[in-house]
């Protein structure tokens, strides 16, 4: 029986819970915050009106990235059913129908793109549409073809902060690119830890991840270390451009070292404790760096 004909027989969870799961709430929160941060750093205007505009742009970005998340799960619903960590997703169990998911995702995508185009500028609308297409049309099918899917997937993963910046600034400046590069690099240690922890699941579903490939022992750790090292100079780009002060520099260096240490440990020995430690630090790292980016211009009165 295909996933399109499954009938949900579990305990009803109400209307909100299954859709929240489809939207991947924790990811959605991070998308909103990075999008809003990008807008704030483009303007550095602490007025309530500007903060509301940043939140509005972030909401439109969230709509489209949420659309991409749902469409991804529509396409991968049969593969998700093979993996322990995804076998209870709403589209796998039949709790949400494929038709409903496609309709909701389409509406979200249109509203988000139109919102950016009409309320902000065409540049941000084009960028968010490109993000959707890369995630759904390139990254999703590539997961079964090549380990390069991780690199491709990191592009839409880093896009919200760039789009938030473009929405408020009307252009992509050096700081916008620095923010994009930071989140792009951050994702690799984070995802290498996840991919290693769930490598058997990914292999069952036929996903091409670095740890699932023959002869890949140690590769996930090496990638994690390489990108954790690269993130230090990348995070210093705003300071080198005169766009960040000493508070940010010191904080970014400390956070960078904190990220390198578990990445190095994971590269020395790929095991569950090291993977979990790296994943935990990666989860702490990004919100902490975002807080620094927000606080630094406030402290400098810029």
| CB atoms near residue 44 (< 10 Å) | 15
End position of a domain, from candidates 129, 157, 172: 172
In angstroms, rounded to a whole number, what is the distance separating the alpha carbons of residues 165 and 184? 15
- What domain range is 255 assigned to? 178-302
Q: Using an 8 Å Cβ cutoff, are 139 and 68 in contact?
A: no
Q: Are residues 33 and 150 in the same domain?
A: yes
Longest CA pairwise span in the chain (Å): 62
The HSE-up count of residue 262 (CA atoms within 13 Å, CB side) is 23
| C-alpha triplet 92, 98, 100: angle, nearest 5° | 125
Q: Are residues 166 and 45 in the same domain?
A: yes
In angstroms, rounded to a whole number, what is the distance separating the alpha carbons of residues 27 and 61? 12
Report in angstroms the alpha-carbon separations of 251 from 4, 119, 226, 289: 49, 35, 21, 8
Say what the pLDDT of residue 251 is: 95
- Assign residue 161 the CATH number of its domain: 1.10.357.140
Q: Using an 8 Å Cβ cutoff, are 177 and 162 in contact?
A: yes
Q: Are residues 120 and 216 in the same domain?
A: no
Q: Are residues 167 and 182 in the same domain?
A: no
149 belongs to a structural domain: yes
Say what the pLDDT of residue 4 is: 45
- pLDDT tens-digit profile, the chain (302 residues): 344 445 555 566 667 889 999 999 999 999 999 999 999 999 988 889 999 999 999 999 999 999 999 999 999 999 988 888 889 999 999 999 999 999 999 999 999 999 999 999 999 999 999 999 999 999 999 999 999 999 999 999 999 999 999 999 999 988 899 999 999 999 999 999 999 999 999 998 889 999 988 888 889 999 999 999 999 999 998 887 777 888 999 999 999 999 999 999 999 999 999 999 999 999 999 999 999 988 888 777 66
Total number of domains in the chain? 2
- Two structure tokens written together for 249: 């520099």
Q: Are residues 166 and 205 in the same domain?
A: no
- Give 129-133's long-range contacts (Cβ < 8 A, gap of 24+): 129/64, 131/64, 131/65, 131/68, 131/155, 131/156, 131/159, 131/160, 131/163, 132/64, 132/65, 132/67, 132/68, 132/156
1 belongs to a structural domain: no
Q: Are residues 122 and 224 in the same domain?
A: no
């Amino acid at each position: 029986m295909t996933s399109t004909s499954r009938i949900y027989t579990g305990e009803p969870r109400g209307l909100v819970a299954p859709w929240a799961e489809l939207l991947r709430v924790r990811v959605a929160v991070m998308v909103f915050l990075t999008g809003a941060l990008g807008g704030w750093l483009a303007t550095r205007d602490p007025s309530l009106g500007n903060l509301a505009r940043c939140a509005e742009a972030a909401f439109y970005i969230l709509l489209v990235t949420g659309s991409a998340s749902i469409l991804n799960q529509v396409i991968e619903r049969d593969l998700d059913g093979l993996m322990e960590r995804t076998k209870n997703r709403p589209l796998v169990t039949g709790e949400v129908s494929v038709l409903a998911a496609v309709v909701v995702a389409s509406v979200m995508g249109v509203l988000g793109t139109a919102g950016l185009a009409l309320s902000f500028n065409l540049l941000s609308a084009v960028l968010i549409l490109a993000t959707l297409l890369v995630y759904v049309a390139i990254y999703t099918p590539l997961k079964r073809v090549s380990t390069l899917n991780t690199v491709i997937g990191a592009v839409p993963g880093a896009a919200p902060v760039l789009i938030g910046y473009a929405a408020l600034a009307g252009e992509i400046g050096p700081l916008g690119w620095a923010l994009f590069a930071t989140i792009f690099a951050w994702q690799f240690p984070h995802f290498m830890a996840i991919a290693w922890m769930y490598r058997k699941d990914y292999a069952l579903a036929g996903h091409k991840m670095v740890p699932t490939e023959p002869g890949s022992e140690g590769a996930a750790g090496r990638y994690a270390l390489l990108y954790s090292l690269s993130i230090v100079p990348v995070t210093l780009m705003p300071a080198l451009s005169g766009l960040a002060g000493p508070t940010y520099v010191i904080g970014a260096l400390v956070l960078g070292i904190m990220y390198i240490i578990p990445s190095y440990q994971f590269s020395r020995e790929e095991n569950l404790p090291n993977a979990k430690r790296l994943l935990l630090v990666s989860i702490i790292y990004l919100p902490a760096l975002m807080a620094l980016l927000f606080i630094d211009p406030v402290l400098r009165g810029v």
